[in-house]
Chains A and B, each alone.
Chain A
Amino acid sequence: MNLLVIFIGAALINNFVLQQFLGICPFVGVSKKVDSSFSMGMATTFVMVISAMVTWLIYNLILVPFELQILQYVAFILVIASLVQFVEMFIKKVSKPLYDALGIFLPLITTNCAILGLALTAVLKEYNFMETLIYGVGAGIGFTLALVIMAGIREELELVDVPKSFQGAAITMIIAGSLALAFMGFAGII
């Protein structure tokens, strides 16, 4: 039950993009087409789940016993950067079509603050290993959801006459605001 609450909380109520403002850069940059934003969301979810697990292990098995918590940030970002590199090589080896589909998005995931944000929040909330895993999956799905909804709206938006100053990023922000407003409605479900 507790795990379910964590999952729904991360995916909908505290949606990483729309309520916690993590991963805004890819949200604005990649959300132009539904297909590519779905691939981006899936790749990010994948890295999120793995990095949440690995950083949990590193924090609780290495940094805490040796009292090196001060190195937390440096250690986490190094883990994430090398993990992304590793995942990239792995996907290239195992499934070439998937690798081609993801293309440039993979290396960009390193600088996605949702990944580091997830690792840091999981430590802050003192989740155990299983909870961290579920939290990662929920956050990733929430991220994908927000990205795909946004891309769907932006595809329609190309047919609309937007005032000149609002074209591009400005209108994206306003739409994101309306989406955030809609997502606030989920707050009551748990």
Chain B
Amino acid sequence: MKEKTAIQELVKGIWDENPVLVQLLGLCPTLAVTSSAENGLAMGLAATFVLLCSSFLVSMFRKMIPGQVRIAAYIVIIATFVTIADRFLAAFVPDISKSLGPFIPLIIVNCMILGRQEAFASKNGIGRSLLDAMGMGLGFTFTLLVLSSIREILGAGTWFGMRIMWESFAEWGVMSQAPGAFITLGCLIAGANWINARRKA
């Protein structure tokens, strides 16, 4: 693989290697918390924070962690930062923390975060790992924000709690429930495939 410049390292996560739409990683939180734009954004930022911090530590200790126990070591590092993020959210935005429920602790087993440690942070220097983590985190947050905006606007007629649809708009209740999440994400993935196919042609 050809060396990437710093900018490319950062930008690739947002579209070309978008964790959700292209790599299909971290789907559980993507589907579960995106019933409102506020929750989607909070989840995206929390995951980005955990990803940045753990990439930093893993990349710093990459020569010291023995190969056989590396996955266990990564998980403990990730779990530590998830605990910090969880306590932080519970202290400052208790409402959001409550509605995200068990999905904040579930960032620990988010395959996107573990995947980046295994595939990138354990092989690259601190600077590059931070850029990579930042890009992936932004890509994740961006996708969550798009998905949750669509669902909140169609499902409740609001965006970040503000009413934006016209008065007589009948809410599509199903969009804020489980089926809406699956179908919207399916359409987004198909859309991303379509755009990528056109760009290559």
Binding site for B on A (CB under 8 A): 18-25, 28, 70-74, 77-78, 81, 110-113, 115-117, 120-121, 124, 163-174, 176-178, 180-181, 183-184
In the assembled complex, B185 has its CB within 8 A of some CB on chain A: yes
B102 touches A117 (CB 8 A): yes
Q: How far is B31's CA from A113's CA once the two chains are assembled, in angstroms? A: 13
- Number of residues in B with C-beta < 8 Å to the partner? 43
Residues on the B chain within 8 Å of A77, using CB? 75-76, 79, 108-109
* Cross-chain contact of B181 among A21, A111, A165, A167 (Cβ < 8 A): A21
CB-based closest 5 A-B pairs: A173-B186, A177-B182, A177-B183, A170-B190, A21-B32
B111 interface hit (Cβ, 8 Å):
yes
- List residues of chain A with CB within 8 A of the CB of B25: 25
Interface with A: B11-19, B38-46, B121-129, B171-179, which one? B171-179
A120 touches B75 (CB 8 A): no
Residues of chain A lying within 8 A (CB to CB) of residue B194? 165
Judged by a CB distance under 8 angstroms, whether B96 is at the interface is no
What chain A residues lie within 8 Å of B193 (beta carbons)?
164-168, 170
Chain A interface mostly:
helix
A120–B186 alpha-carbon span in the complex (Å): 28
Selected from B82, B178, B197, the residue in CB contact (under 8 A) with A73 is B82
CB-CB under 8 A from A184, the residues of chain B are: 177-179
Q: In the complex, what distance in Å separates the CA atom of A142 from the CA atom of B82?
A: 28
**In this assembly, does B134 line the interface, its C-beta being within 8 Å of a C-beta of chain A?**
no
Task: Give the distance in Å from the alpha carbon of A166 to the alpha carbon of B105 in the complex.
Answer: 32
CB < 8 Å neighbour of B27 from A24, A81, A165, A170:
A24
Question: Considering residues B28, B106, B193, which has the most beta carbons from chain A within 10 angstroms of its beta carbon?
Answer: B28
B189: interface (CB < 8 Å)? yes
A residues less than 8 Å from B178 (CB atoms): 18-19, 21, 177, 180, 183-184
Closest Cβ of chain A to B76, distance in Å, is 6
With A21-B28, A77-B109, A170-B190 given, is the CB distance from A177 to B102 under 8 Å?
Answer: no
